[in-house]
Amino acid sequence: MQYRTIAVEASRSYNIHIGAGLLSSIGDMIRPAVGCCRLAVLTDSNVESLYGNSIMDNLRSAGYEACKFVIPAGEASKCAENLLAFLNFLAAERLTRSDAVVAFGGGVVGDLGGLSASLYLRGVKYIQVPTTLLAAVDSSVGGKTAIDIPAGKNLVGSFYQPSMVCCDTALMDTLPAEIYRDGCAEVIKYGVILDAALYRLLHDVPFERESVVARCVEIKRDVVQQDEFDNGIRGLLNFGHTFGHAIEKLSDFGVSHGAAVAKGMVIAAKVAPLCGLCDIVEELSSLLVRYGFDISCPYSASEIYNALLSDKKRRGGTISVVLPRAIGDCTLVDLPVEELETLLEKVI
């Protein structure tokens, strides 16, 4: 089977394998990372109905003893109740420190599975098996794990690197169009923040999935290797996310992550020229519209501003915002919160 491997050197070093059809040899693929152990697979109800039997059959035929825990699909599942329920499941199944968790799904499953693995017995290995484009290019790579709490998204979490990422790009064939499109927002983000050549490639709609996923993963790998614990350049990955998270929160997660990030990137692009940086609004908006995004903002400047005040990127009286200097070149700007309020009033 043909696949690409991208190596990550972080506090834990690991390989990311990317290719169509990898699920059919998942058991053999993960052996170098976890050895012979028991596996607890975490997945969601959508992935379970499509691929739940395939992964369990494959793991068992490769000689693994494996159990499975299924959560309802959707962002609401990334919660403290499911974290505790899965931890109780791991304990009831008597998983030991030499065993491993397999997070088989999109960002919710990956974040919850990773956080559980970092907490259970003070840390067991875990493997990310992303099934959405968004998880493949972003959340499965780099070791950020989290749950949401009522005060906000991803407010409780850890940095905990997986032992391997195994990305079967063929699984994305069955994604509903709007879920696939969510991932396209993250892909476009990589082009804007760090890679003008990738950005140009994305004008061929639809893009060639495997090579584009691999390029995004390489970009994220390079960023994570420089700033694993998110004290500097890793903040660039938040382009569109500061405003996007505010929109997600205001909509009570009715606006999906990718759709919110698309709107957030346009707001950030509009703020940039007001801060003396370049104007990519037309260019970025037209590409997002070609991908089917509605780039209008359904909330007022003051609603967005108030939602931003609980953002974890806020430090004291400033909030860190990623702004474009050009396509392929973004910068982090710390804006005083009152200034941000005035800027938002001008662009929304």
- The residues of the shown chain that bind ligand GLY, judged by CB under 6 A, are 138, 142, 144, 230, 234, 237
3-state secondary structure of 133: helix
Q: Which helix (H) or strand (E) holds 299?
A: none
Nearer to ligand GLY by C-beta: 66 or 127? 127
Q: How far is the CB of 207 from ligand GLY (least distance, A)?
A: 20
Q: How far is the CB of 258 from ligand GLY (least distance, A)?
A: 12
Which residue has its beta carbon closest to ligand GLY? 237
d(CA 266, CA 63): 49
Nearer to ligand GLY by C-beta: 141 or 347? 141
Nearer to ligand GLY by C-beta: 17 or 234? 234
Helices (H), 149-280: 177-194, 196-201, 209-226, 241-250, 257-274
Determine contact, residues 105/155, Cβ cutoff 8 Å: no
Nearer to ligand GLY by C-beta: 206 or 229? 229
Instruction: Kindly compute the dihedral angle of the four CA atoms of residues 37, 43, 48, 53, in this order, to the nearest 10 degrees.
Output: -10
Q: How far is the CB of 237 from ligand GLY (least distance, A)?
A: 4
The label of the residue with tokens 């941000």 reads: 340
Q: How far is the CB of 346 from ligand GLY (least distance, A)?
A: 27
Beta carbons within 8 Å of 206's beta carbon, 6+ residues apart:
none
The label of the residue with tokens 């998942």 reads: 26
The label of the residue with tokens 């009570």 reads: 252
Q: How far is the CB of 231 from ligand GLY (least distance, A)?
A: 11
Nearer to ligand GLY by C-beta: 55 or 319? 319
